[in-house]
């Protein structure tokens, strides 16, 4: 597996309003089907989170609070649309298993729940041109994973390629660019928000890469 840092450009209109920390990396030559979720790691994550939080206290964690505050700023009610990492933790605290998507995403979800950092994983071969962050355009169509097609209003913050939005940032990714067992090249995006230190994104990225390296036998 070849690892290469990737730079996502942020449009000036977004920069004027937000300082959004981003960290992204390309994973080339990764066999998603060969990734194996470490059941011991899963059990350790569940145990740590159940010691660390209750359903009442989880919202007060500084990382989840940063996401919640950002959601309010971009017009999303985080009590109705939970930050992705917080939603994973809440599911575990409710005694439920995390959903199984594919081995890569399943591993990343465990790291996301443990660190509180939301991520997006895209099939790099399905992306057209460079990825950048911008505001949506009124009337654009977006098909989210498992949600069907919606019409964007022009007020959503998105990641986009040359063919259109690939993510409503930072909580819903596109059906068009999702990973699968056939994926060989991945764009991993650590989704920061104002108030999150950049080093926390870097630490989470390193943990994710270590888990993938350990499970595939690659480095």
Q: CATH number, domain at 40?
A: 3.50.40.10
pLDDT of residue 214: 56
Where do we find the tokens 């895209």?
122
Range of the domain at 203: 2-216
Asked whether the CA dihedral 139, 140, 143, 144 is positive or negative, the reply is negative
Task: Report whether 46 contacts 25 (CB < 8 A).
Answer: no
pLDDT of residue 87: 97
pLDDT of residue 37: 73
* pTM (two decimals): 0.93
Query: And the tokens for 97?
Result: 């298993």
pLDDT of residue 35: 87
pLDDT of residue 1: 84
Nearest alpha carbon to residue 205 among 3, 37, 7, 62: 3
pLDDT of residue 38: 81
pLDDT in tens, 20-30: 999 999 999 99
How many domains does the chain divide into?
A: 1
Q: Which stretches of the chain score pLDDT less than 70?
A: 214-219
């Amino acid at each position: 597996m070849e690892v290469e840092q990737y730079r996502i450009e942020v449009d000036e209109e977004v920069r004027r309003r937000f300082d959004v920390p981003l960290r992204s990396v390309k994973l080339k030559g990764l066999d998603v089907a060969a990734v194996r979720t470490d059941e011991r790691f899963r059990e350790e994550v569940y145990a740590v989170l159940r010691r660390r939080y209750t359903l009442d206290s989880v919202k007060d964690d500084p990382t989840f609070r940063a996401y919640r505050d950002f959601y309010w700023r971009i017009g999303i009610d985080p009590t109705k649309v939970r930050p992705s990492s917080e939603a994973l933790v809440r599911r575990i605290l409710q005694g439920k298993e995390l959903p199984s998507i594919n081995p890569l995403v399943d591993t990343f979800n465990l790291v996301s729940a443990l660190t509180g950092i939301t991520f997006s994983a895209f099939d790099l071969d399905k992306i057209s041109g460079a990825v950048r962050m911008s505001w949506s355009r009124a009337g654009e169509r977006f098909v989210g994973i498992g949600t069907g097609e919606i019409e964007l209003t022009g007020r959503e913050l998105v990641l986009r390629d040359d063919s259109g939005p690939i993510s409503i940032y930072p909580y819903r990714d596109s059906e068009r660019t999702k990973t699968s067992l056939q994926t060989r090249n991945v764009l991993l995006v650590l989704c920061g928000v104002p108030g999150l230190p950049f080093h926390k994104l870097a630490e989470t990225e390193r943990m994710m890469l270590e888990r993938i390296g350990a499970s595939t036998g690659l480095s």
